[in-house]
Chain A
């Protein structure tokens, strides 16, 4: 840790940084208002699948970068799960060296264009920003700037490929090509390993592809980041289910010395209320996968999805927001969020809630479904909801929702999407009975090395956390890569 602090300090003392700091007084910097992201108009965007946020112009980015005070102790970095050198990449933007800025991001983050779009910066790096902590002002728009630098590099055609050490001939396997797996692959390939990523689906990207809609994260952005990894030498094998197509033991026989399990949490959860099995009641996984991965909204594809006119989405997280906003884009007249807590307590990102509100999504907070009804064909046509009130706080500090007796009423619906969380993918734990798992089906790991109970098997992301964010999964991946690297050095040393 000391080394990192020393590195940050010495980098901050480089001439170009000092010069930049002197170029503008702190007071001038703090008097600049936070930049506003350019967006599609709400009434336009809620009828198309194009990206909502349009990014920053060069001028906007430079001006926002000027707000950064290049603090002596950059607390923002401590708020970043992958430890991006935030002041350095921002100051490169202020300097106008946008390609250099992108290189800084790639030192620690394999997917900067993705993270710039989907990270909850408001509770991570931006929450730790000096502006928030000390000045009680809006933080530097770190996420917007990250996105800007990554997009600039991609659009310039001068995409830098991080340097890779000489091959050491050691084969490692990464199971799952979601954010955790890609982060492991990105680090391990840099350190000279032969990295193969095994993906069960036909496309690479995991939840980035099937879970996050294109209006929030276009697939082409993910593809470019994956292409970078390919350029670095990472091999991807799609339609390969580890545990079915081949077992871990069989892969060991093929020469793989260590494994990272990042198979995610793709198993939907339901509330088990009466009528939940009626037709046109989807899990959010199914609904979003049909649209995002299987292109159901594209007339050139024959993937079906029912485009309801009255759509109720159950839940208050990002997946619920993604689902309800997707339903608008599929032509719903009325898209509703039914969530049992209040608006303030929603786990969704603030920006996603704001966007949904602008797009005329109805928020039915403090309501919870208790029963579904169907027509003679078994298609859902009504949901009975019960009003809730907030009781005493639970252990998370949030007030517990309590049903209000006698408050039930019915709402007409023709599509319901249940977005109340997911369970870890059971395939790997089921195929490896010796693996220690929790009551929740998550893999138990050492918190520092991410090493599981089975030698040579590491794990991270949703399969360990049971449901988290892209950046936390990537943080796990980077930690696991370090753990795997140490493990393999010792293992090879003993041979």
Chain B
């Protein structure tokens, strides 16, 4: 039996399989079950600013439709977003406290903090509630043609600086891959002193119903094919940054997990495969990792972590090849 322990964000994990922020991690009961199933750590479902604003809008709509509430002159409704945010954050803090009482595995709190400076003040309260670490889920889709790349990048650094000044627990950032020079951005983020980087955020993808001309969501769950891009960037950056990297998106099997570790990840985050295959999938993946390590003579993860990263690779240029021409030209 191999030793599957790993270090992530300076925390000791019994194995590198973390259940990512999702509906799987939105209650104490679920998290207890995930621990029993063998998860190495959990990221509690993110508190999204957008989610709170949607709830605010829904409440205001309800207030207008229901003439029992006098919207125009109500001080309470005037500050309804603050009250809803306060209520939601209180519930989140209670969840952290409850989970910390009931499980032994590391519990990572997660917040989305795109715009509001005051929002991050709550990071401090998450720490006080007992969170072992904090994941900043900064999901900015660079869709505004009036906002420069510098400005978008600055948001990341501002938020990190403010949060780091508020808390002493480890902090990671879950980032997107939409940057002009992704390698430089990851390097600069690492230099801020954050303990971990989660690569990458997976955005909602709009799709169309061509019969009804309506919008719909596509690809709710990730597929293993999506893991390739993550693997590339973990492989390129793992030996170049001090922050510990976690791979996220498209990791569905033991093989996917092993590949990310070989690329240099300290841990992986999984969600879709648990939704699809149930909590038993955790043991299947860990069993597969264990068997592979036994077969290859590894006793610890550190013995092979990063073995296939760009820095260690026999063919480092493969990581940077972006065209298939040569590959295809060799296929006769």
Contacting residue for A269 out of B79, B89, B115, CB 8 A: B79
Q: Which residue of B lies closest to A274 (CB)?
A: B121
Number of interface residues of B (CB under 8 A): 34
Q: Which residues of B contact A400 (CB under 8 A)?
A: 81
Q: For chain A residues 243-279, which have a beta carbon within 8 Å of chain B? A: 265, 269-274
Q: A395-B58, A465-B68, A466-B69 are in contact. List 16 more A-B contacts (CB 8 A).
A: A269-B86, A271-B82, A272-B89, A315-B79, A316-B78, A319-B75, A320-B75, A386-B117, A386-B118, A394-B56, A396-B60, A396-B77, A419-B75, A420-B75, A420-B78, A467-B75
A-B contacts counted at CB < 8 A amount to 114
Q: Which residue of A lies closest to B63 (CB)?
A: A396
Q: Report the stretch among A24-32, A402-410, A482-490 that lies at the interface.
A: A402-410
Residue A37, interface by CB 8 Å: no
The answer for the CA separation of A400 and B50 in the assembled complex, in Å, is 13
The answer for the CA separation of A143 and B116 in the assembled complex, in Å, is 42
- Residue of B60, B61, B76, B118 contacting most chain A CB atoms (<10 Å): B76
Q: Which residue of B lies closest to A345 (CB)?
A: B78
Q: Which residues of A contact B56 (CB under 8 A)?
A: 394-395
Contacting residue for A421 out of B61, B68, B72, B77, CB 8 A: B77
Q: Which residues of A contact B294 (CB under 8 A)?
A: none
Residue A464, interface by CB 8 Å: yes
The answer for the CA separation of A274 and B74 in the assembled complex, in Å, is 25
Number of interface residues of A (CB under 8 A): 44
Q: Which residues of A contact B178 (CB under 8 A)?
A: none
Residue A468, interface by CB 8 Å: yes
Q: For chain B residues 310-324, which have a beta carbon within 8 Å of chain A? A: none
- A332 smallest CB distance to B (angstroms): 21
8 pairs of A and B residues whose beta carbons are closest in the complex: A421-B76, A317-B75, A395-B60, A467-B76, A421-B75, A420-B79, A467-B74, A395-B61
Given contacts A273-B118, A403-B118, contact A120 B64 (CB under 8 A): no
Instruction: Check if B117 sits within 8 Å of A408, measured CB to CB.
Output: yes
Q: For chain A residues 415-435, which have a beta carbon within 8 Å of chain B? A: 419-423
Q: For chain A residues 424-481, which have a beta carbon within 8 Å of chain B? A: 445, 447, 464-469, 472
Q: Which residues of A contact B73 (CB under 8 A)?
A: 120, 123, 317-318, 347, 349, 468-469
Instruction: Check if B118 sits within 8 Å of A421, measured CB to CB.
Output: no
Q: Which residues of B contact A368 (CB under 8 A)?
A: 118
The answer for the CA separation of A341 and B79 in the assembled complex, in Å, is 10
Residue B83, interface by CB 8 Å: yes
Given contacts A273-B118, A403-B115, contact A347 B75 (CB under 8 A): yes
Contacting residue for B76 out of A386, A422, A469, CB 8 A: A422
Residue A241, interface by CB 8 Å: no
Q: Which residues of B contact A294 (CB under 8 A)?
A: none
The answer for the CA separation of A38 and B309 in the assembled complex, in Å, is 83
Q: Which residue of B lies closest to A386 (CB)?
A: B117
